[in-house]
Amino acid sequence: MENTLNMYLFTAFMLFATGLLGAMFKRNLIVIFMGVEMMLCGAMLAFAAFASAYGDLSGGVFAFFILTIAAAEVAVGLAIITQLFKIENTVSTKDLNTLGD
């Protein structure tokens, strides 16, 4: 396998791009959130790929931190989403536009 790093980086980029497209163009808050998670995952994969290619542990430790941040972020975000659903009875960004009016 010659192009290992490039192949992993391509996968990481595509994961990030998918997450970004989801976060930008989907209407549902849960799917937007899953997009953000996928972006974090792509970044983590890139960190791990570079760490593995260069034999340096720092990238691995940063990937570990990304996992921590993602877990904390999911807890807070989903709490906000459920609370929002309790108040507005919807999670679609089409209907949650009171700040934009």
Partner 1 sequence: MNEIIFYIFCGMCLGGALGVLMLPNYVNATMSMLVSMLGVAGLLLLLHAYFLALVMVTVYAGAVLVLFVFVAMLIGDEKDSSGWIKKCALLAVWLALGAAVAKFSPEIVSAAPARAASDAVPVLAVAKNYGLSLFTDFMLPLQTAGALLLAAITVVITIAKPNPMKRQKKEELQ
* Euclidean distance between CA atoms 80 and 74, whole angstroms: 10
Query: Between residue 25 and residue 44, which ones bind partner 1 under the rule CB under 8 A?
Result: 25-28, 30-31, 33-35, 37-38, 41, 44
Contact with partner 1 (CB under 8 A): which of 53, 93, 96, 99?
53
Q: Is 79 in the site for partner 1 (CB under 8 A)?
A: yes
Q: Is 13 in the site for partner 1 (CB under 8 A)?
A: yes
Contact with partner 1 (CB under 8 A): which of 36, 43, 55, 99?
55
* Euclidean distance between CA atoms 3 and 6, whole angstroms: 5
- Tell me how far, at minimum, the Cβ of 49 lies from partner 1, in Å: 6
Q: Which residues share a beta bridge with 92? A: 28
Q: Which residues contact partner 1 (rule: CB under 8 A)? A: 1-11, 13-15, 17-19, 21-22, 25-28, 30-31, 33-35, 37-38, 41, 44-45, 48-49, 51-58, 60-61, 63-65, 67-76, 78-83, 85, 90-92
